[in-house]
Amino acid sequence: RHKFWETQPVGQFRDAADPNLPDGAIEPPTPLSEVRADPYPLPAAFEWYTCDLDDDALLADLYALLAHNYVEDDENMFRFNYSPAFLRWALRPPSFFRAWHIGVRAKESKKLVAFISGVPARIRARDDVVRMAEINFLCVHKKLRSKRLAPVLIREVTRRVHQENIWQAAYTAGVVLPTPITTCRYWHRSLNPKKLIDVGFSRLGPRMTMSRTVRLYKLPDAPLTPGFRQMELRDVAAVTRLLRAYLAKFVVAPDFDELDVEHWLLPQEDVVDSYLVESPETHEVTDFCSFYTLPSSVLNNANYATLKAAYSYYNVATKTTLQQLMNDALIVAKQKNYDVFNALDVMENESFLKELKFGPGDGQLHYYLYNYRVRNGIKPSELGLVLL
């Protein structure tokens, strides 16, 4: 069934029911001297190309490859349109490895035709903090599909991760592979319902008119919680404390330090937005919420080319309720002209999705670990990890 995945150290479907297999690494590390020294062979017309994201021309090529060939919904109406600034942010966290930004080019034209990336992360599974690679942006040009290039890209990134003495990875996909640790659903909150309906992202509900729908999704003009403001550099320590305490509740979650928080959560326009509640009396930071910006191209629509979407990222509520905090996140996203606010049913998100008028989407997101078994898997609410 899975000619490639059957050969890899991942939970195999046939082991799923075996309660005797322990949690942790599926296979032990090999000595670094035994890690293959040279790149895997590619078909003769292609060459490996380690990408330099400082190079604006390369970044433009990567942006274009993904904008034209990356993930689409099941009816091919929308395609993720990660911005160049977002890609730079996503691929250059603290201690990133340039060798993990892996392109494939046509030898003759030098055109970028495929890509895969990894970034380093510490991820905790139960009480085990593991150095991992987060693998993302696997993409093969539409004209080169179904030629078994993806397994070559995956083997090559695995080799380069092993060279750094890292033996585990985390990744998500819309497709089912052996074997998800959990399967999450996307939920969507309309901010600009008229446009969403015009582009076919959502539909007018039964017995609903456009004006009733617009009224249903109306939001206040400004956040409601006193002390709600944008996160700044001076907040990094307080946000790190809040987030570390919160993420400790989940079975699988990142182990963020202050450097990680500064990179992943300090606001960057049209890339990542973070807000917090600073108590007007004590000036204590008590609550925090964040979202990242990932537009989608609207395919084949005469009136609109892109949908501006916000994706819920990490949120922590200690004084305000999570529902009130996320309502303020919706309000600022609406102020900033986003069309839709998306969230997965991870962490405690179930506690606000229905109340804040999110509806279930038609897409699922499967989470995977490479060379790490989590017995019986976990529930989405036990997952504290959001990948981009």
Binding site for ligand MYA (CB under 6 A): 2-5, 69-71, 133, 135-140, 145-151, 154, 157-158, 161, 167-169, 171, 173, 175, 177, 370-371
> How far is the C-alpha of 57 from the C-alpha of 296, rounded, in Å?
22
Question: Is residue 361 near ligand JJ1 by the rule CB under 6 A?
Answer: yes
Residue 18: how many other CB atoms lie within 10 Å: 12
Q: Is 247 a catalytic residue?
A: no
Question: Is residue 41 near ligand JJ1 by the rule CB under 6 A?
Answer: no
Question: Is residue 77 near ligand JJ1 by the rule CB under 6 A?
Answer: yes
Question: Is residue 172 near ligand JJ1 by the rule CB under 6 A?
Answer: yes
Q: Please name the helix (run of DSSP H) or strand (run of DSSP E) that holds residue 362, with its range, or none.
A: strand 359-370
Question: Is residue 349 near ligand JJ1 by the rule CB under 6 A?
Answer: no
Token pair in block for residue 304:
């609109």
Residue 288, contacted partner among ligand MYA, ligand JJ1, none, CB below 5-8 A by kind: none
DSSP label at residue 251: S
Site map 233..262 versus ligand JJ1, x via CB under 6 A:
------------------------------
Closer to ligand MYA by Cβ: residue 14 or 203:
14
How long is the chain?
Answer: 388
Question: Is residue 81 near ligand JJ1 by the rule CB under 6 A?
Answer: no
- Looking at residue 8, its amino acid is Q
Query: CA 307, 384, 240: angle at the middle one, nearest 5?
Result: 95
Token pair in block for residue 220:
């206040």
> How far is the C-alpha of 230 from the C-alpha of 276, rounded, in Å?
6
Among 363, 375, 377, 380, binds ligand JJ1 (CB under 6 A): 363
Q: In what order do the strands lie in the sheet with 296-298?
A: 78-80, 296-298, 306-307
Contact range with ligand JJ1 by CB under 6 A, out of 74-82, 102-110, 141-149, 277-285: 74-82
For β-strands 182-190 and 359-370, DSSP reports them as antiparallel
Residue 362, contacted partner among ligand JJ1, ligand MYA, none, CB below 5-8 A by kind: ligand JJ1
- Rg (the chain; Cα; Å): 21
Residues that bind ligand JJ1 (CB under 6 A): 71, 73-75, 77, 136, 172-174, 186, 188, 190, 201-202, 359, 361-363, 365, 387
Known catalytic residues?
A: 388
